[in-house]
Amino acid sequence: MDSINLVESFSEFKEFKNIDRERMMRILEDVFRAMLIKKYGSDENFDIIVNIDKGDLEIWHNREIVEDGAVEDATSQIALSDAIKIEPDFEVGEDVSEAISISDFGRREILTIRQSLVSKILEYEKDNVYQKYRDKVGEIITGEVYQVWRREILVLDDEGIELMLPKSEQIPADFYRKGDTIRAVVLKVEMRNNSPQIILSRTSEIFLQRLIEAEVPEVYDGLITIRKIVREPGQRAKIAVESYDDRIDPVGACVGMKGSRIHGIVRELKNENIDVINYTTNANLYITRSLSPAKISSIQMDEANKRAEVFMKPDQVSLAIGKGGFNIKLAGKLTGYEIDVYRDTDIDSEDVDLEEFGDEIDQWIIEKLKSIGCDTAKSVLALSLDEIETRADLETETVAEVVRILKAEFE
């Protein structure tokens, strides 16, 4: 038969689609078999041979030779007079294979074949992308920013597959231009209008977890377990870790020498503050650690309602709440408790913090008084003049002036 070289004629699909040559051969065979069924009612008596090396496709019609006038099924039988036109020495009862030319299908059928091939390749391509990225959910991928829109960013991976990073999954400080390299975690894969939609995320807790696994070998190897991660993207994150090996300090391993391991992650997350704490089943201690860097005086627990009332010195309250309230909010998410912060009731509500006298007393004097444990006005007045002078290493005149100012506050 004439060499139709169909595979090569459709090579443009291979150029632009994520499809290997062998798979394309199978698709081509399936398309022609469907056409044979449509034309002859069956493909049982046909052989389709695809030559992968040469890119040729051959179709052979196999039939049994019968006497002239005895043909009952033209698909499986051929008259002797027709058979000898193919080969003069054929006899009744033998099998004959006749090559079918592509021209036998007609222009309309050839156009249908081509359309079917395009459709099959697109269908396979979509399914291939869907299956590939469905197995990558939860993994970090690196791509190139191709287009930036107001609500999302179009990213291309190294195979040219389109990925979407919605605005809601971007860190507030993220700013990208076309051509920039971007790292994100595959959040989910959906089929929309029969096309795979791959959604990326940089705000997911999983993204932070994968970054830690990449930077901390002990986490990747399972020596350190991440129990929980909570984030306020771009602002603050808290990570509870634990190790079943007493020889390993989980917090120290995650942070690294002088913060070497955590710094790279912080930069990737646009300077997001990351608190790494030791996980514990002791709820009281867990809440104390989760409110770091604030120092707690006492806690009253309500286990039934999952509430905790935390008491601390006035100068620690703002640390516990944190900028924008993120610290206490994340501590609550991490521990599962609703946390309320109160000023320590052991401090006289009528007392005044020494910092309030900053406009009347020099700051270095206030620091001297704090160094001996006097944080408030009444704590200073509770000491004798000699004791203040000796312990704080201050001159007599200075101590007398400080006491005068403090007493005037309560008169």
Tokens representing 287 are: 């809440």
Can you state the angle between helices 385-392 and 363-371, rounded to 10 degrees?
100
The pLDDT value given to residue 4:
43
Architecture, CATH, for domain 6-131: 2-Layer Sandwich (3.30)
pLDDT digits (tens, 9 = 90+) for 176-223: 999 999 999 999 999 888 889 999 999 999 999 999 999 999 999 999
Classify domain 220-274 at the CATH superfamily level: K homology (KH) domain (3.30.300.20)
Give pTM, 2 decimals: 0.66
| Amino acid, res. 319 | L
Provide φ and ψ at 134, rounded to 5°.
-65, -35
What stretches in the chain show pLDDT beneath 50? 1-5, 7-9, 14, 16, 347-348
d(CA 352, CA 69): 119
Give the CATH number of domain 280-346: 3.30.300.20
Residue spans of the domains in the chain: they are 6-131, 142-201, 220-274, 280-346, 354-410
Topology alike, domains 220-274 and 280-346: yes
∠ Cα 276 230 154 (to 5°): 115
Tokens representing 89 are: 């020495």
The three-class DSSP label of residue 75 is: coil
Pairing of strands 56-66, 77-79: parallel
d(CA 113, CA 117): 6
d(CA 290, CA 368): 31
Asked whether the beta carbons of 211 and 193 are under 8 A apart, the reply is: no
d(CA 189, CA 186): 8
Residue 220 CB partners (closer than 8 Å, separation 6+):
213, 214
The pLDDT value given to residue 53:
58
Which fold is adopted by the domain 354-410? Answer: DNA polymerase; domain 1 (1.10.150)
Asked whether the beta carbons of 121 and 154 are under 8 A apart, the reply is: no
CB atoms within 10 A of CB 185: 23
Which residue has 């209008």 as its token pair?
193
The pLDDT value given to residue 56:
67
d(CA 320, CA 331): 9
The three-class DSSP label of residue 387 is: helix
Which fold is adopted by the domain 142-201? Answer: OB fold (Dihydrolipoamide Acetyltransferase, E2P) (2.40.50)
Peptide bond into 293 cis (omega under 30): yes
d(CA 125, CA 113): 18
Asked whether the beta carbons of 161 and 127 are under 8 A apart, the reply is: no
The pLDDT value given to residue 3:
37
The three-class DSSP label of residue 46 is: strand
Which residue has 């609500």 as its token pair?
151
Which residue has 């991928």 as its token pair?
141
d(CA 108, CA 167): 48
Longest dimension (CA), the chain: 136
In DSSP terms, 237 is beta-bridged to 231, 274
| Rounded alpha-carbon distances, angstroms, from residue 276 to 253, 256, 290 | 10, 11, 9
